[in-house]
Structure formats: structure tokens, C-alpha cells
Amino acid sequence: MPDDPWASSLPSAVPTFIPTATDMDATHYGIHVSSLYGEDTDGELIAVGPNLTPRRALAAMVAYTRTECCWPGYDAVADLRDRIRDNQLAIAIVPTQFIREPDGGWHTRWHADGQPAAWLVSPWHPAHCFTTA
């Protein structure tokens, strides 16, 4: 039988995990939300949780921007909806692996073996081709 093309290419010693509230920045509506920073992911938000849909992810992300980012008087809902409508942003639900680093931190990678995670991405981002709101 041929090898499974979707089998994980990660070495078996790489510790993957399912994020909990302590791994993420905040929890809203039962969905865990976190900001991702770095060269390729600067400014993106990621959301994980049960029964994840683009609508639930967006609601949690909006609550996150209002409470954690402390934007008083800023209408995050209208801004995010406008940017999604104008194709400046999209909610993409992508199978994602969460990989624990030796220092306790973590990073992500898209992989068929991963769990669904909602990403707030710009249209040029590779995840934009996945499920979007």
C-alpha cells in the first residue's frame, strides 16, 4: 500500500498540542483568540475552539480587539466587516498544528493532521484560498 500523502511530515519527537485558554491571549464566546507576530504573520489573529465557524471566529476576534487591544470608541465590528467586505481581510479556517517549543512558547503550521483554526488574513496570504467568511 502506498504511503499516506497526508501523513504528518513532522518528526515524531515534535510535540504538538491543542491550545487551551492559558496558551492563548483571551477567550470570548468559548473561542480562544491570540495575536500572531513575526515576519510572515505580523498582525494576524488566530482563533480555536469547539464548533468553529467563520461567524463565531469573527465574533471572538472582534471581542478580542475591543477588550485586549483597548481601542475605546473604535468600532472594531464595522472596521472588520468593512475590510472583509472590501476583500482586505478574510476569515480562513485551516487545519493547523500547534507545536510546543522547548521554552514553553509555541508556533503554528498548516497541516492536514491539524485541528481547525480560524485565521484573520489578508487576501494575498496563502490561507485566503481556504474557507472564508
Return per-residue pLDDT of the chain as tens, 133 residues.
445 444 555 555 568 899 999 999 999 999 999 987 644 444 578 999 999 998 899 889 888 887 876 655 556 667 777 888 888 888 889 899 999 988 888 888 888 888 999 988 776 655 544 444 4
Please report where in the chains the cell 474557507 appears, as a residue: 131
In this prediction, residue 8 carries a pLDDT of: 53
**Cell, residue 72:** 475605546
* 110 in Cβ contact with 95 (< 8 Å): yes
Please report where in the chains the cell 472582534 appears, as a residue: 62
Q: What is the distance between the alpha carbons of residues 40 and 127, in angstroms, rounded to a whole number?
A: 12
In this prediction, residue 86 carries a pLDDT of: 87
- Using CA atoms, how far residue 95 sits from 47, 74, 124, in Å, is 12, 32, 19
